[in-house]
Amino acid sequence: MHALDVLGDPVRRRILELLADGERPAGAVTETVRTEFGISQPAVSQHLRVLRETGFATVRPEGARRLYAVAPERFREVDAWLEHFGRFWEQRLDALGTELARGKREARRKTEDDRPH
């Protein structure tokens, strides 16, 4: 399954957002996702399985619990794929950086001009 097929699902993206904050028990992930999306526990388990089988998440047993975490390797693959399209936004980001710097200079200048001499 292509990485973007996996990430295209809003439930899986939300699960990954939760896991990005650190390792979490499957029960905690399930509870949050069930509350936010109104889906069943088996549906959440299916999404966790897809993330695990496609290499976006890892799972490790700890007693009776299963702890899930983000697996960064697949995100490197996504990043490499997106790199091909960087030229479309790099110029705009550079322009934004220039405008932000200009705004900061003007704000500093205005502050200095407003000071009593």
Give the chain's domain count: 2
Please state, in angstroms and rounded to a whole number, the distance separating the CA atoms of residues 85 and 15: 26
Please state, in angstroms and rounded to a whole number, the distance separating the CA atoms of residues 45 and 51: 10
**In the prediction, which pLDDT does 56 show?**
96
Q: How many residues in total does the chain contain?
A: 117
Are both 11 and 67 inside the same structural domain?
Answer: yes
Amino acid at position 17, single letter? E
pTM beyond 0.85: no
Going by pLDDT thresholds of 50, 70 and 90, the confidence category of residue 53 is very high
**In the prediction, which pLDDT does 36 show?**
97
Q: In the predicted model, is pLDDT for residue 87 greater than 80?
A: no
Are both 61 and 96 inside the same structural domain?
Answer: no
| 13 contacts 19 by C-beta, under 8 angstroms | no
**3-class SS at 25?**
strand
Q: Within a domain: residue 56?
A: yes
Exposure of 52 in the CB half-sphere (CA atoms within 13 A): 14
Q: Within a domain: residue 61?
A: yes
| CATH number assigned to the domain comprising residue 29 | 1.10.10.10
**In the prediction, which pLDDT does 117 show?**
64
Residue 94 domain boundaries: 85-114
| 30-46 tens-digit pLDDT | 999 999 999 999 999 99
**In the prediction, which pLDDT does 8 show?**
92
Q: Within a domain: residue 78?
A: no
**In the prediction, which pLDDT does 45 show?**
96
Q: Within a domain: residue 80?
A: no
Are both 55 and 91 inside the same structural domain?
Answer: no
Are both 50 and 92 inside the same structural domain?
Answer: no
Going by pLDDT thresholds of 50, 70 and 90, the confidence category of residue 94 is confident
Are both 58 and 106 inside the same structural domain?
Answer: no
Are both 59 and 99 inside the same structural domain?
Answer: no
